[in-house]
Structure 1
Amino acid sequence: MNVYLVEDVLVDSGTPKARGRIIRQLRGQPLSAHVVTHAHPDHFGSSHAVCEEFGIPLWAGQKDVTAIETATPATAPGRIPQLLSRMKMPDPHPVARGLCEGDEVAGFTVLEVPGHSPGHIALWRERDGVLLCGDVFFGLFGATAPPDILTWDRDLNRESMRRLAALRPRLVLFGHGRPARDPDRLARLLR
């Protein structure tokens, strides 16, 4: 799982077990806020600890606010996702700002890209083509769709994938996997 520091904003926080490492790495860094791309435990897992430690507000996509505040993420259809949802969840945390399409965060524009979760957001900086895509795409083995078993609405996520690919980003920062610098990489996946 990837965690990013964009200017003075922390983007995502990994699992609950990452809290110590993340807090150590952030000590001495100026922080103004923490943004979560989507309400899955591997992205807001350490959010409560980080926000408490540094006294910073938590921001998330408007349609994922309740899931984070209650630590009850929306699940994909099927029996196995329902079983996974019974696992121990991260500590909930109040969301100070529900982000919507067009909001600005650390020089990036918020894009609503639902599907992997109802309120999934991406951060797009048009001037240099940088995209933080969360889990709309996985970057573990090239660029792929996220696993269906972890995706709330597969068809809606596919629409979000098309939307982000059409941007032709010059640098894609995934929630999982290495960065990609090929503007056509995402589009090839959708052919």
Structure 2
Amino acid sequence: MRPLAPGVHQLLGRPPHMINAYLVEDVLVDAGTPAARKRLARGLDGRRLSAHVVTHAHPDHYGSSHAVCERYDVPLWAGQKDADAIETSTPVPAPGRIPKLMSRMKMPDAHPVARGLREGDEVAGFTVLEVPGHSPGHIALWRDHDGVLICGDVFFNLLWPSGPPDFLTWDREQNRASMRRLAELRPKLVLFGHGRPLRDPDRLRRLVG
């Protein structure tokens, strides 16, 4: 487990930074794919866990959520508008033929959402921001006092900072608006669902123009 900021750790996957999960104080943020459950357990066993938050209802973010919540007996929290997709394991597909075909693939185990998160809610010292577009109920987590942002998939940073792929994004225009909103925060540390951490307050602003 890699420390990134006070109370914030990254659980590295294989390959590193491809699909990220974070431990924020005693809250797990995202849970990778179903194949990540053993890796997550290696990082979390022996630690106190009080809750599990999912940034958005895509199977590479809630894939091991059911297993995590069962293993550690913790509640699952997610954006209110993504709660049904997680509880039924039926993510809302992006427009187009390929996303519709992908939606027919076997999905991760469903799990009840104990708390639907809304704008302004507090999670482990972070403020919930509603940033829809990649999914209808996508959320980000923002810590104002030191500028740490957990952005989920509003941005990617696999080779360089970018928006998420269009064919995986439910509403591209809404996601662009969410990108602009987060960039205006000028975060000092950006943590992505996919990609390495970024410590450059102006990089996102240059990306969105």
TM-score category by the smaller chain? over 0.9
The match for 1:33 is: 51
What RMSD over aligned residues (CA atoms) do the two structures have, in Å?
Answer: 0.4
Moved over 4 A (4+): none
How far apart are residue 139 of structure 1 and its match? Answer: 0.9
Higher helix share: 1
Spell out, residue by residue over 1:115-157, the C-alpha distance to the aligned partner (whole angstroms, 9 max, x if none). Answer: 0000000000000000000000001122100000000000000
Structure 2 SS opposite 1:43 = coil
What is the total number of aligned residue pairs between the two structures?
191
Please report the TM-score for the alignment, with normalisation by the length of structure 2: 0.91
Unaligned 5+ segments in structure 2 are 1-18
Cα separation, 1, equivalents of 2:61 and 2:114? 17
139-148 vs 99-108, which moves further: 139-148
**CA drift at 1:63:** 0.1
Secondary structure in structure 1 of the residue aligned to 2:84: helix
Equivalences for residues 54-73 of structure 1 within 5 A: 54-73=72-91
Alpha-carbon distance in 2 for matches of 1:129, 1:24: 29
Partner of 1:120: 138
Q: Percent identity?
A: 77
Q: Distance in 1 between matches of 2:161 and 2:140?
A: 16
Aligned with 2:60: secondary structure? helix
TM-score, normalization: structure 1? 0.99
120, 129, 138: which one aligns with 1:111: 129
1:187 aligns with 205
Which residue of structure 1 lines up, in the alignment, with residue 178 of structure 2?
Answer: 160
Q: Deviations over 1:139-183 (max 9, x none)?
A: 112210000000000000000000000000000000000000000
* Partner secondary structure for residue 128 of structure 2: strand
What is the match of residue 147 of structure 1? 165
| Residues in 2 aligned to 1:34 and 1:129: alpha-carbon distance in whole angstroms | 22
Quick one: which of 61, 68, 71 aligns to 1:50? 68
Distance (whole Å) between structure 2 residues aligned to residue 23 and residue 65 of structure 1: 24
| Unpaired stretches in structure 1, ≥5 consecutive residues | none
